[in-house]
Structure 1
Amino acid sequence: MFICAVNVIFLVCFCSLHQTFGQDCPSRNEIQGSLRQVQKLLSAHEASYMQSLRNLKKKISALQSSAGKQTSKTINSTCPKLDALINGRKLGKSHLVGHEVYFLCDPGYELVGSETRVCQETLTWSGQQPICQDINECASSPCLNAGTCVDEVNQFSCVCAKGWTGATCQSPVPTFLITITNTSATAAAAAATTFPAATTGPFVRPSRCTTVQGTTHCTCEPGYTISGRDSYTCADIDECELFHNGQAGRLCLHACVNTPGGYRCSCPAGYDVTRDGRSCKDIDECATRQNNCSKDQMCINTFGGFQCVRVDCPKIRNATYVKTSPMRCERNPCPVENKACSQTPNSFSYHYMAVVSNLSAPRVMFRVSALRQIGDTLRFSLLGGKQARRHFTVQRSDRLTGQLMLVTPVQGPATVEAEVEMSELERRVQVGRYITKVTLFVSQYDF
């Protein structure tokens, strides 16, 4: 269209120049008609150009609006707050995309559901909300001799049938009877209903005797027996010695203390006696605030005590780390030209576990999983010195999960550490490293 207009203008100019030479040119009316036609074409071209410009402006405005919404979404990209566990607790406060929270149950409860949940890019949490379910201590039928088991929180108690006693109804109720046959009527008449004891004290009681037709019957209070030296004196029974290794095991799981007419069980420091009076339960110093941890420390309850831990991000050359949750440090973005930084671990996670002494093995202690695999290969390996390799190994449980296995029992008290490295490779080239540090606080006792 622009070329046609140029041709018409050239023709007008050419004819004006050549009129002197008498050349034949189009008439004035024909030239004016051509110019009007060119003017129409230019007007149509201008209208089309303006419409295209308006459309372009609309597209730019739409892109700017979309970019603003995307920025707002990125700023507010957090998952909804998770409910707290009943009879348990939640570790991790960050709800940003890619962050994890962990769930633990109180002693006496077991976790049903996901151990960890991750905030996904869809702003929803992975897995299902777990619950802490009471462990049924009566499942193993611990009560003997027709006793009835009553399940309680982190313990059980036995209601014994008639004639049986003990924490698990393992001991018959002692009944002591002595019969004295008197051939003399005078002696029978002289027999009193109750004979005084020769010696008195907390471990000695008088017996109760009755005489019927010349036969004397003497009995003692529960927990006492007729003394071998004096038929009318009752001596305390040392249940701790008598039932030390009974059919159902020891009377007390830790220490037995003999008392007048009975016994009691005692526990080491950091433990309380359970309702059944036989077992020991751990005191949670962290929950009851019986600890001296500072504000910048985290209290970790252990069996028989507690530990104050402080998680500090590691200081590694060529890289810097920042805390993204109480138990996790992530690497700041690396400069493009800094290849040494890209080879350092992407993150460090810290986990603390309390276990009893001589825990049976082999046993899975911890699992490490990849949220989404970036490369084409995922590898798991165990880091650390001789102590870690003596007690642990790392195995793959599925394509995206590795597990830390306890292979040798640990004698407490002790603190054992292990590091699990998860590496992502793309065509045998490392594209990511993630370190998980697991610390086991092993108690002194195995109950």
Structure 2
Amino acid sequence: MKPILLLNLLLHLLWFCNGQSCSEQQEAIKVLRQVQKLLTEHETSYLRGLRALHQRLTQLKDQLLKGETKENCPRLKTPRHGRILGGKLKVGHELHFLCDHGYRLVGSETRTCQKNQTWSGEPALCTGELASVTNTSFLQPAKCSSFQGTQHCTCEPGYLIQPGALCQDVDECSMFQRNAEAKICVHECINTAGSYYCICPEGYVLDPHLNTCQDTDECSSEQNSCPGGSLCVNLYGGFTCVQPECPKPKQNTSYVKTSVQQCEKSPCLMGSKSCLEAPHSISFHYIALQSQLPAPRVLFTMSAPRSLGDSQRFTITRGKGRGLDVRQAGRHRWELVLNKTVSGPAEIQVDVEMAETSSQSFPGKHIFSVTIYVSKYSF
């Protein structure tokens, strides 16, 4: 404000002075230049402040949008020849899928945003009458030509010539998909006019060259939302968050968590036999399997984490009768073996105790706590 008042005063001074008689004119011009410089600096500072304020507002907006995105499920694509009812992506909200007239829905009609920011159900597709068994709607005229009074008719690939110079679509899905040895899609086949395409369940991506479904490793990306201190376990078709806990204190025996997957026994009180005989440590292991895998199959290899005794013995203490067994694979190495085919979805828990024999001290023990997640899919 002061520079403006000073500028007005100088302008009045210059107005009443003429170039010959006013002795203060030169001094006024110098001051006027200083005022101009000061105003320029004020203007520059003002614009710089505006830019800084704009950048800060943009950062706050991005942070708010980013925070909102973390609480939402990813936006789903509208199926071709269909539409989506509902637009909220927050946890607990539903989306409903409808197909246009003449098309039918394949997949989940309703999908719900779950707490782990993934959608329930399977992707929705609109396939229309092209997936029908009869395929009578897949008729088109053949391409015909006449040569020396004889008519020759041909069809495009994926069609068969029919009487009346018509081409009928070949339903590849009906021809091959029902035969396990000749399946053209590992999961689901959708017939189309003159061709077909394969789709995969949620948690998989399609390999279009081999028509197979490849599992998506959610734990190696930002798709999982496991809280801090927990472990992300990738499964076939999804993932789960685990947070193993140490056994509660019992009979003067307590454990301390030394890592996400390991518990160590605290020092025993003098003369506490029950504490001395308890396992020295417990480790937690997680295995993902496809359904209907051939057996026998080695699932997990165990080795003695410490060597206090003369020899080791491995025994299943929990989960007996689930088609699992242990066998020796070396001097200090044993294997957990699946002896029978298992169908999913299923969750199997088994504890394997490693005991060291020694004639001079209490035997050392270690517990391998193994959880097996069997997918409902065979791929």
* TM-score, normalization by structure 2: 0.60
Report the counterpart of residue 33 of structure 2 in structure 1: none
Using the aligned pairs only, state the percent identity: 43
Please say if residues 355 and 442 of structure 1, whose CA atoms lie closer than 8 Å, have aligned partners that are also in contact.
yes
After superposition, the C-alpha distances for 1:235-255 in whole angstroms (9 at most, x for unaligned) are: 221111233467961111111
Q: Could you list the runs of 5+ residues in structure 1 that have no partner in the other structure?
A: 1-200
Give the whole-Å Cα distance in 2 for the aligned partners of 1:247 and 1:339. Answer: 59
Over aligned residues, Cα RMSD in angstroms? 2.1
After superposition, the C-alpha distances for 1:404-429 in whole angstroms (9 at most, x for unaligned) are: 11112211000001111011121286
Report the counterpart of residue 351 of structure 1 in structure 2: 285
Please say if residues 322 and 348 of structure 2, whose CA atoms lie closer than 8 Å, have aligned partners that are also in contact.
no
Q: Does 1:435 align with 2:359?
A: no
Residues 435 and 372 (structure 1), Cα distance of their counterparts in 2 relative to 1, 3 Å cut: closer
Q: Does 1:302 align with 2:235?
A: yes
Instruction: Find the residue that maps to 2:249 and give its secondary structure.
Output: coil
Matching residue within 227, 238, 258 for 1:324: 258
Matching residue within 226, 235, 244 for 1:311: 244
Report the counterpart of residue 72 of structure 2 in structure 1: none
* Deviation (angstroms), 1:379: 1.3
Report the counterpart of residue 425 of structure 1 in structure 2: 357
Letter aligned with residue 360 of structure 1: P
Instruction: Find the residue that maps to 1:286 and give its secondary structure.
Output: helix
Give the whole-Å Cα distance in 2 for the aligned partners of 1:248 and 1:326. Answer: 43
Give the whole-Å Cα distance in 2 for the aligned partners of 1:425 and 1:248. Answer: 51
Residues 353 and 314 (structure 1), Cα distance of their counterparts in 2 relative to 1, 3 Å cut: same
Report the counterpart of residue 238 of structure 1 in structure 2: 171
Report the counterpart of residue 343 of structure 2 in structure 1: 411
| Deviation larger for 375-384 or 412-421 | 375-384
Report the counterpart of residue 207 of structure 1 in structure 2: 142
Instruction: Find the residue that maps to 1:430 and give its secondary structure.
Output: coil
Report the counterpart of residue 201 of structure 2 in structure 1: 268
More relative contact order, 1 or 2 (CA 8 Å, 6+ apart): 2
Letter aligned with residue 359 of structure 2: R
Instruction: Find the residue that maps to 1:322 and give its secondary structure.
Output: strand
Letter aligned with residue 347 of structure 1: S
Residues 437 and 252 (structure 1), Cα distance of their counterparts in 2 relative to 1, 3 Å cut: same
* Deviation (angstroms), 1:227: 2.8
Report the counterpart of residue 342 of structure 1 in structure 2: 276
Larger Cα-atom Rg: 1
Question: How do residues 87-166 of structure 1 correspond to structure 2 at under 5 angstroms?
Answer: none
Q: Could you list the runs of 5+ residues in structure 2 that have no partner in the other structure?
A: 1-135
Give the whole-Å Cα distance in 2 for the aligned partners of 1:246 and 1:356. Answer: 20
* TM-score, normalization by structure 1: 0.51
Report the counterpart of residue 45 of structure 1 in structure 2: none
Report the counterpart of residue 392 of structure 1 in structure 2: 324
Instruction: Find the residue that maps to 2:321 and give its secondary structure.
Output: helix
Instruction: Find the residue that maps to 2:174 and give its secondary structure.
Output: helix
Please say if residues 422 and 433 of structure 1, whose CA atoms lie closer than 8 Å, have aligned partners that are also in contact.
yes
Residues 424 and 274 (structure 1), Cα distance of their counterparts in 2 relative to 1, 3 Å cut: same
Letter aligned with residue 293 of structure 1: C
Give the whole-Å Cα distance in 2 for the aligned partners of 1:268 and 1:308. Answer: 21
